[in-house]
Amino acid sequence: MQHSNPLEPIRAQITALDQQLLQLLAQRRELSLQVAQTKADAISPVRDPDRESALLGRLVQQGRALGLDGQYVSRLFHAIIEDSVLRQQAWFQERINPEQPESVKVAYLGAKGSYSHIAAYHYFERRDRQLIEMGLSSFDEIIAAVEDGQADYGILPVENTSSGAINEVFDLLQSTNLSLVGETTETIAHCLLLPDGGQSDQVRTVFAHPQVHAQCSGYLASKDWDQQYCASSAEAMARASQQPNAAAIGSARGGSFYGLNAVEQGLANQDRNESRFIVVARKPVTVPLQVPAKTTLLMATSQQAGALVEALLVLKQHGLTMTKLASRPIHGNPWEEMFYLDIAANQDAEPMRQALRQLTKITRFIKVLGCYPSDTILPTELSAEQLADDPRVNPAPSDQQQAPLYSRQHKHADSQIRIGSSQFGHGSLQVIAHCNQAVAQAERLIKEQGGHLLLSEHPEASQSLPVAQRINQVSQLPQLGTHVQLLVVAAAQMHNQTLLHALGSQARPVLLTQGYGTSIQQWLAAAEQILQAGNQQVMLLAERHQEGVDLHQIAKLRQLTHLPIVIEPGRAEDDAHTQAQLAQAAQAMGVSGVLIQLGEQQFSERDYGEFMKALYAE
């Protein structure tokens, strides 16, 4: 006698409910397109933040009445709202650019299953286009295929939240006549991929694209594997499927094309690992005013002091928000830099038109690389009142939530911190020179060329300058000499709770370095621990990584906190004049100090002198 499985009827009900949910989501999507069609002749934007907030707040409350967690409801409906917004934007875009074929040939890096392939598929699926795939082996080939008419579009990765900018792509944009016509952001979920029956303890070789190696460097550092670099993730997966005791790092979806299974997930250095891709074509597109747009500029300023700041102030005067600033060397012109700017504005909007006219008067070269719909759909923000009943948001039973000590709500005016004769947070830019060796030589250089503090691993070597010292453990604190006037928390110690609490008992100012791959919120939370423990003299240090200074992040920080901000301007390969320009731009945004690396691989005496001269030139 056979006994029926008691789970079967339950599973059958779940399957039926899932089918109903899919049908309802499809109906909702159709209704959202009808909403777009009613706005066809209006200039009102696709998104209505007030209505979205009210809708989401009501859904959260209704969900709680049904026993559903508020965070779960808000995450679920953000995904639904994001899909609706992107579909509406695509409809408006198709309407104003009607001559679009049903099928398009798209050039991308690698073969089927690569991250670029998946990004291309998602981008054109949302626009109801049939994708004719054209996988190529290099970025140069993608550009050439579109320029020659072999492909209608090319899709290129430009930056990743873990490994930074993909400089090769930025360099190619200097010389092409193609236009940027779109963007898309893909969540990159790196997995360890093995053939059927494979186990991670059998792996001897791992294949991955160089960017993937960089994004998973923390995971790979713990493995004694032969790390092989591939031109694409697709190539990595193909090689792993053919070689014994080999694995690839890539997406689970991509691995399925090659008979590989994901045996480990979440390998990236940071939880949120996303890549932004741009779409290029031979002809530009027109973006309707109902759709949020980005305009990307390529710009070269004059070699005069303050030229970059002057250009950025033009954007500020016209109320334009810059979301990205990156610099790259100009090919054939040693020591000269070209700047890439992403601006959250439509090229045809009057403020952007006026700004471009003004920029042509004060720059040596300026070119609009493209104006295209912005695919960045930020989550709808709920008010404190809407979230007030959610215990995960307000765990404390107090009637009034206290503002964090780092926040503008706690202290609106910028904090000012004095170290020796230097004043951080007072408007002027303070220079910290970092030197591991030849401290006496560095001290002499600072006195001759200007500067304010010396950061050294051997602080006792300097007695006449205010000295900063990196702190990695609590045991260092009792050994500090009286001449050490600034404590610098290394990035790796940003989550060291014991050390942060001990620094809160110090009377010396603290410079807190942002850990690589950590968010602004995590950074400020670490600062809050020091402030809560008593030490109110906290500054924030944004170290450079792949791209140099991120002015968009600085702008966010300035809105969130009153704490002084210190940066490392530029990249290691940037010349002194470029770094001075970036430092001036950061100062115009409210940065209090810059950290300069002295040494054979960084700034020489001559470089430092040129930097100081350019920084303070009138």
Element (H, E) at 513: strand 510-513
Is the per-residue pLDDT at 394 higher than 60?
no
Amino acid occupying residue 109: L
Give pLDDT, residue 446.
75
Give pLDDT, residue 332.
59
Give pLDDT, residue 268.
81
The partner residues of 566 in beta bridges, in order of sequence, read 541, 593
Q: Cα separations (Å) of 353 from 196, 344, 371, 447? A: 57, 13, 12, 47
pLDDT (mean) for 239-259:
91
| Domains delineated in the chain | 25-96 (1.20.59.10), 191-267 (3.40.190.10), 292-381 (3.30.70.260), 403-615 (3.20.20.70)
The partner residues of 542 in beta bridges, in order of sequence, read 567
Would you state the structure tokens that stand for residue 259, as one six-digit string?
A: 């008979």
Give pLDDT, residue 392.
45
* In contact, 160 and 543? CB cutoff 8 Å: no
Q: What is the pLDDT of residues 326-379, one digit of tens each?
A: 777 776 565 567 888 899 899 999 999 999 999 999 888 899 999 999 887 766
| Higher pLDDT among residues 605 and 61, named by residue | 61
* In contact, 355 and 344? CB cutoff 8 Å: no
Q: What is the pLDDT of residues 274-296, one digit of tens each?
A: 788 999 999 999 998 888 899 99
Give pLDDT, residue 383.
53
What residue has token string 């898309």?
184
* In contact, 136 and 109? CB cutoff 8 Å: yes
Q: If 0-12 CB within 10 Å is exposed, 13-18 middle and 19+ buried, where does residue 475 land?
A: exposed
Amino acid occupying residue 263: V
Q: How confident is the model at residue 396 (pLDDT cuts 50, 70, 90)?
A: very low
3-state secondary structure 390-459: CCCCCCCCCCCCCCCCCECCCCCCCCCEEECCEEECCCCCEEEEECCCCHHHHHHHHHHHCCCEEECCCH
How many percent of the chain have pLDDT more than 90?
A: 30
Give pLDDT, residue 617.
66
Give pLDDT, residue 583.
83
Q: What is the CA radius of gyration of the chain?
A: 27
3-state secondary structure 66-129: CCCCHHHHHHHHHHHHHHHHHHHHHHHHHHHCCCCCCEEEEEEECCCCCHHHHHHHHHHHCCCC
Q: How confident is the model at residue 92 (pLDDT cuts 50, 70, 90)?
A: confident
Element (H, E) at 384: helix 384-387
Alpha carbons 181 and 94: distance in angstroms, whole number: 12
Q: What is the pLDDT of residues 468-488, one digit of tens each?
A: 888 888 988 888 877 788 999
Q: If 0-12 CB within 10 Å is exposed, 13-18 middle and 19+ buried, where does residue 140 land?
A: exposed
| Higher pLDDT among residues 324 and 489, named by residue | 489
Least confident of 26-30, 212-216, 403-407: 212-216
Give pLDDT, residue 571.
60
Q: How confident is the model at residue 499 (pLDDT cuts 50, 70, 90)?
A: very high
Q: How confident is the model at residue 398 (pLDDT cuts 50, 70, 90)?
A: very low
Give pLDDT, residue 415.
92
CA-CA-CA-CA dihedral for 437, 512, 313, 276, to nearest 10: 100
CA-CA-CA-CA dihedral for 421, 424, 430, 435, to nearest 10: 80
Give pLDDT, residue 573.
61
Alpha carbons 309 and 356: distance in angstroms, whole number: 15
Give pLDDT, residue 140.
95
User: What global pTM score does this model have?
Assistant: 0.64
Give pLDDT, residue 497.
87
The partner residues of 488 in beta bridges, in order of sequence, read 470, 511
Would you state the structure tokens that stand for residue 65, as one six-digit string?
A: 């009445």
Q: What is the pLDDT of residues 577-617, one digit of tens each?
A: 778 888 888 888 889 998 888 775 567 778 878 888 878 76
Is the per-residue pLDDT at 86 higher than 60?
yes
598 DSSP 8-state letter: B
The most confident of 321-330, 413-422, 454-463, by mean pLDDT:
413-422
Q: Cα separations (Å) of 594 from 45, 391, 480, 584, 591? A: 40, 41, 24, 10, 8
Single out the residue of 202, 212, 194 nearest to residue 262, CA to CA.
194
Q: What is the pLDDT of residues 175-230, one digit of tens each?
A: 899 999 999 988 878 899 999 888 888 899 999 988 888 888 888 988 999 999 99
Q: Which residues contact 574 (CB under 8 A, 6 or more apart)?
A: 327, 337, 548, 582
Give pLDDT, residue 461.
55
Would you state the structure tokens that stand for residue 487, as one six-digit string?
A: 């404590």
Alpha carbons 424 and 567: distance in angstroms, whole number: 12
| Higher pLDDT among residues 603 and 52, named by residue | 52
The partner residues of 322 in beta bridges, in order of sequence, read 343
Positive or negative CA dihedral for 97, 103, 105, 106?
A: positive
Is the per-residue pLDDT at 26 higher than 70?
yes
How many percent of the chain have pLDDT more than 70?
A: 86
Mean pLDDT of the chain: 83
Give pLDDT, residue 377.
72
pLDDT (mean) for 309-323:
86
Give pLDDT, residue 522.
82
Give pLDDT, residue 8.
87
What residue has token string 């899709």?
155
pLDDT (mean) for 409-435:
86
Give pLDDT, residue 602.
67
Question: Strand 191-195 relative to strand 179-187: parallel, antiparallel, unpaired?
Answer: unpaired
Alpha carbons 547 and 607: distance in angstroms, whole number: 20
DSSP 3-state of 33: helix
